[in-house]
Structure 1
Amino acid sequence: RIPDTVSDEQALFVGDVLATGFWATRISEITKDDTVLIIGAGPTGICTLLCVMLKKPQRIIVCEKSPERIQFVREHYPDVLVVEPENCKDFVIQNSEHGGADVVLEVAGSEDTFRLAWECARPNAIVTIVALYDEPQILPLPDMYGKNLIFKTGGVDGCDCAEILNLIEEGRIDTTPLITHRFPLNEIEEAYRIFENKLDGVIKVAIY
């Protein structure tokens, strides 16, 4: 049940992308000493970021290629470091104490980002796969020799929704900045056109 003090917009992503980010953060075993890398700053990536921020790790790095999404992260979460994919590995090594990220959360979902995730991880790191892939991914074990990585993945369910709603009620999670566009139901086709074609800086659309 949505608490009376939580608006519909505040609760809108609880059962989907926010629950995914919360689950991924929970299984990643993040500590306050960690450098955490999040690959992908789409809606699921931002929800993952919000949940990682609750753990207060030493450092959070977000890897993203879209200029609009990079600007969004810098505007709303100025303490988070942002880097583009082509510079990500070197940047993570320079901004971590152990030769790479202690925890990597892969939210982008491409062949390149899957490889980037384990390449940016330090030896004995945790790599959590949040993304869904169109094709099977390959673990090139000879290239990974000596990394001793722990991979975590799985399917998210709604078991954390009550806890997430409590965090929203307490003001500790706010996903409303993700809603960049709002449309009435009779303009649903225009809403889909903007969302599908990624126009006008759209991230999420709310329909009333």
Structure 2
Amino acid sequence: MRALTWHGKHDIRCDSVPDPQIQDGRDAIIKVTACAICGSDLHLYDGVMPEMRSGDVMGHETMGEVVEVGKDNTKLKVGDRVVVPFTISCGECFFCKRGFYSGCERSNPDRAKVTKLWGNSPAGLFGYSHLLGGYAGGQAEYLRVPYADVGPIKVPAGLSDEQVLFLSDIFPTGYMAADFCNIQSGDTIAIWGCGPVGQMAIRSAFLLGAERVIAIDAVPERMALAEAAGAVILDFMDKDVYDQIMELTDGRGADACIDAVGTEAEAAASWDSRLDRIKVAMFMGTDRPHVLRQAIQCCRNFGTVSIVGVYGGFLDKIPMGSAINRGLTFKMAQTPVQHYLPILMERIEKGDIDPSFVITHRGTLEDGPTLYKTFRDKQDGCIKVVLKP
């Protein structure tokens, strides 16, 4: 089959790779009808995530039609249309039983490696390095889905692929970011990053009752999309973000702040962002957490900092003095997608939101390598790429 494969920094290829096979009775094989390039994939594209190997199949936002089912899988049948969560979860362990599917204790066969880095292991993920299971991803013609009696959700008739595809990751992630904020009537929510996850967080914050959303970015087309959703937009390259948020909130700060950027933060010419870049370039640091620092400073006393941007290592110069002395709450996670799927599928069916609004570019797998670069470089107004094998 054809698939997008990783061969090093900025080297994604459309290759021929072996078709996936049933390996366990709970598996399923799906024929991919739509997949997407995620902002998290760009961390792999940029060579930030360790333990990638040449030839690894990319992608974790996938849906399709079931073409084969393992003997022990009674949930799915051939012909079902399903969306596949990016988190691989057994449904039976301590964490899965409590709804924390992204903390699954059984789905990462490489857990010993990542435990040395993070202290313990999260769930395995599709297409996201050999720290997190080494599973082949879904930017391919076919995908093997482990524990397929737990993860995939069936798609109701009448909904298009593009309406439901983002249930695999960015819609639940953006919704979780807003859910973490415990939004009350009248709240102001500040969101750093107007990429796909940020766009979903903006709309989710309004769905959950926010009175005002402040969206921070510098890319014109992203800011225009945020403004169209009703957000107040701030250009971080124009004026100091802290000063602007304090002005908008009468000096109090936002009720909650969402970091939807993560490890590769861009910033205006500030001392901390310059230092981050120098340290990463000299292998003295692993991440560039400028946005997280700013979100902490801009959050009101006893507010919430919600973190859904991806970080990989050890963060430097985080203002914990500010967080502790002002009573901030931190909430963060890889999204337990399975927990949110029924809620969000219902939202789509009811017409509360159509996640396809974020799509700007479409292509085939053969177009994938070029579209990775287009997305990474923010060319041609690119906000979200969908590929149809």
Q: Would you say same fold, with TM above 0.5?
A: yes
2:176 alignment partner, one of 23, 33, 47: 23
**How far apart are residue 124 of structure 1 and its match?**
0.7
**Structure 2 residue corresponding to 1:139, chosen from 315, 318, 324:** 318
In our comparison, the structure showing a higher alpha carbon Rg is: 2
Contact 1:5 1:169 in 2 (8 A): no
Matched residue count: 206
Give every structure 1 segment of 4 or more consecutive aligned residues whose post-TM-superposition deviation is greater than 6 Å.
Answer: none
Aligned pairs for 1:176-187 within 5 A: 176-187=356-367
1:131-162 per-position Cα deviation (integer Å, ceiling 9, x unaligned): 11244224333445631111111221222112
Equivalent in 245, 251, 254 of residue 101 of structure 1: 254
CA distance change for structure 1 residues 87 and 54 in 2, over 3 Å: closer, same or farther? same
1:54 aligns with 2:234: no
Instruction: Report SS of the residue matched to 1:122.
Output: strand
Secondary structure of the corresponding residue to residue 152 of structure 1: strand
Quick check: 99-108 or 50-59, which moved more?
A: 50-59
Alignment correspondent of 1:171: 351
Q: Select the structure that is richer in helix.
A: 1
CA contact (8 A) 1:124 1:148 kept: yes
Change (3 A) 1:40 1:188: closer
- What is the Cα deviation at residue 3 of structure 1? 1.4
Counterpart CA distance in 1 for 2:328 and 2:161 is: 40
8 Å Cα contact 1:68/1:201 also seen in 2: yes
* 1:62-98, Cα deviation, whole Å (9 max, x unpaired): 1112223112322x22x21000224321221122256
Q: Give the structure 2 partner of residue 63 of structure 1.
A: 216
CA distance in 2, matches of 1:144, 1:51: 25
Q: Which residue of 2 aligns with 1:82?
A: 233
Pairing partner for 2:380 from 195, 200, 206: 200
- Gap change, CA 1:196 and 1:118, over 3 Å in 2: closer
Cα separation, partners in 2 of 1:161 and 1:143, compared to 1, 3 Å? closer
Whole-angstrom CA distance in 2 between matches of 1:128 and 1:105? 5
Q: Which has the higher contact order (CA 8 A, sep 6+)?
A: 1
User: In the aligned structure 2, how far is the partner of 1:185 from the partner of 1:142?
Assistant: 48
Between stretches 80-89 and 137-146, larger displacement belongs to 137-146
Where 1:12 maps in the other structure, the secondary structure is helix
Secondary structure at the counterpart of residue 198 of structure 1: coil
1:143–1:127 distance in 2 versus 1, CA, 3 Å: closer
State TM-score, norm by structure 2: 0.50
| Percent of pairs with identical residues | 29
- Matched-pair contact (CA < 8 Å) for 1:32–1:55: no
Q: Return the alpha-carbon distance in structure 1 between the equivalents of residues 177 and 290 of structure 2.
A: 20
Whether 1:130 aligns to 2:308 is yes
Q: Could you list the runs of 5+ residues in structure 2 that have no partner in the other structure? A: 1-153, 266-288
Give 1:167's aligned amino acid. R
Corresponding position of 2:268: none
In 2, Cα distance between equivalents of 1:149 and 1:45: 21
